[in-house]
Amino acid sequence: MKKHSILIISITLIVLAAAASIALFDHSHHDENAKFDAKETIFDHLVDHYSWEVPFSHSHKIALPIIVQDYKGGWHCFMSSKVEHGETYNGFYIDQSEAHHGKVVGTNENGEVYRPLDISITKNVAALFITVIVICLCLFPLVRWYKNNGKKAPRGFTGAIEMLTCMVYDDVIKSILGPEKGRRFAPYLLTAFYFIFISNLMGLMVIFPAGANLTGNLAITMVLAICTFLAVNIFGTKEYWKEVFWPDVPMFLKAPLPIMPFIEIFGVFTKPIALMVRLFANMMGGHMIVLVLLSLIFIFKEMGGVAVAGGTTVLSIGFSLFMYIIDTLVSYIQAYVFTMLSTIFISLAQVEHHHHE
């Protein structure tokens, strides 16, 4: 039974990896004469788009709404299919030049190209919505179970979700913050954990309802880090602010030249920045390695032909499979680390007068 499931998982992963490479191949060869540009292909897969590919095809895309505000303040809303192939719609088109590569731009009366205020439902925004739905689908069965069955332990998937929640809630939040404050901060920390964990996993699945590189996007991790920053500093105690501006160190370190306060204030901002960069770099790096490994196939094909490409395919898919499995682990670890560090930063801002007693 166990062997069986491992076999099924391996086959699924091979199929997915193959699908990814086919998609890559398809993408790089929509123009037969174009040379394969590994760098462009890889970055194209990591950044946001205005539309979403239909599984296994780059020519068919799911149109998503583009919402932009022009320089006069008027709002424009249209489907991405209107500008997908280089067309101009209401003066807006997708820029192909270096300045705003791949973004919607407009031209004003003087013929100057400008970037409008852009709150389009892009691929990543759509993925955000889907992630929220998936999170709710994971958690609300558990809530319903509790309402119907009281304290009885749930089974199956609901039980797994409960176990995951308990692992974060009991072992991280309550053990670091204590039961009282743990209960107070648990909603934010658990929401952040599930958001990161589910988007990490969905980012690894290569086709439509998933596959957006959400947590590997700096905007997403920045908002998460800002939320932690707010949770730390809004609920920080008096003692915490005293330790920032007037720490318990020898006078010469803070009196004429505020060396320690400077370092402390610097630390207040570096903590969330570290959170932001860690999550972003880990997730983006994981995606990039898989993409590079798959790109190797096409690079070697151009250099040595089909036979070399065949050999590389086996190797690359083997390695990228391995990377996928590592990334699955990393998905959990990064969600856990983000939650744990957020909890620690919050607990550091909850200091009380204990060392004076």
Partner 1 sequence: MELFMPEAGLVFWMFVVFVVLFAILAKFAWPVITKMVDDRAALIDKGVEYAEAAKSSLEDSEAQARAILAEANRQQMEILQEAAQMKSQIIEEAKKAAAAEAKKLVDAAAISIEQSRKEAELQFRQEVSQFALTIAENIIRKELAGDKAQAEMVEQLLNELEHKN
Nearer of residues 53 and 162 to partner 1, judged by Cβ? 162
**183 binds partner 1, rule: CB under 8 A:** yes
- Options 75, 129, 245, 269; binder of partner 1; rule CB under 8 A: 129
Q: Which residues make Cβ contacts (< 8 Å) with residue 283, sequence separation at least 6? A: 200, 203, 213, 215, 216, 330, 331, 334
Nearer of residues 161 and 309 to partner 1, judged by Cβ? 161
Taking the C-alpha atoms of residue 112 and residue 38, their distance in angstroms, rounded to an integer, is: 32
Count the residues of the shown chain that bind partner 1, applying the rule CB under 8 A.
Answer: 50
Chain residues 293-352 in contact with partner 1, contact rule CB under 8 A: none
Q: What is the DSSP string of 285-336?
A: HHHHHHHHHHHHHHHHHHHHHHHHHHHHHHHHHHHHHHHHHHHHHHHHHHHH
Nearer of residues 165 and 263 to partner 1, judged by Cβ? 165
Question: Among residues 234, 230, 255, 235, which one has the least CA distance to residue 245?
Answer: 255
**257 binds partner 1, rule: CB under 8 A:** no
Taking the C-alpha atoms of residue 195 and residue 199, their distance in angstroms, rounded to an integer, is: 6
- Options 24, 224, 232, 260; binder of partner 1; rule CB under 8 A: 224
Span near partner 1 by CB under 8 A; candidates 86-94, 133-141, 202-210, 261-269:
133-141
Nearer of residues 226 and 329 to partner 1, judged by Cβ? 226
Other residues' Cβ atoms within 10 Å of the Cβ of residue 189 = 24
**219 binds partner 1, rule: CB under 8 A:** yes
- Options 35, 147, 355, 356; binder of partner 1; rule CB under 8 A: 147
Q: Which residues make Cβ contacts (< 8 Å) with residue 186, sequence separation at least 6? A: 169, 173
- Options 18, 75, 114, 140; binder of partner 1; rule CB under 8 A: 140
Q: What is the DSSP string of 160-213?
A: HHHHHHHIIIIIIIIHHHHHHHHHHHHHHHHHHHHHHHHHHHHHHS-STTS---
- Options 73, 187, 250, 256; binder of partner 1; rule CB under 8 A: 187
Nearer of residues 195 and 300 to partner 1, judged by Cβ? 195
Q: How far is the CB of 245 from partner 1 (least distance, A)?
A: 29
- Options 6, 9, 15, 117; binder of partner 1; rule CB under 8 A: 117
Other residues' Cβ atoms within 10 Å of the Cβ of residue 221 = 26
Taking the C-alpha atoms of residue 85 and residue 179, their distance in angstroms, rounded to an integer, is: 56
Q: How far is the CB of 247 from partner 1 (least distance, A)?
A: 32
- Options 47, 62, 325, 340; binder of partner 1; rule CB under 8 A: 47
Nearer of residues 142 and 309 to partner 1, judged by Cβ? 142
- Give the long-range contacts of residues 98-105, CB within 8 A, separation 24 or more: 102/47, 102/49, 104/50, 104/66, 104/68
* Integer CA distances (angstroms), 100 to 11, 97, 116, in order: 40, 6, 11
The residues that touch partner 1, with contacts defined as CB under 8 A, are 43, 46-48, 101-102, 117-122, 124-125, 128-129, 132, 135-136, 139-140, 142-143, 146-147, 151, 153, 162, 165-166, 169-170, 179, 183, 186-188, 190-191, 194-195, 217-220, 222-224, 227, 284
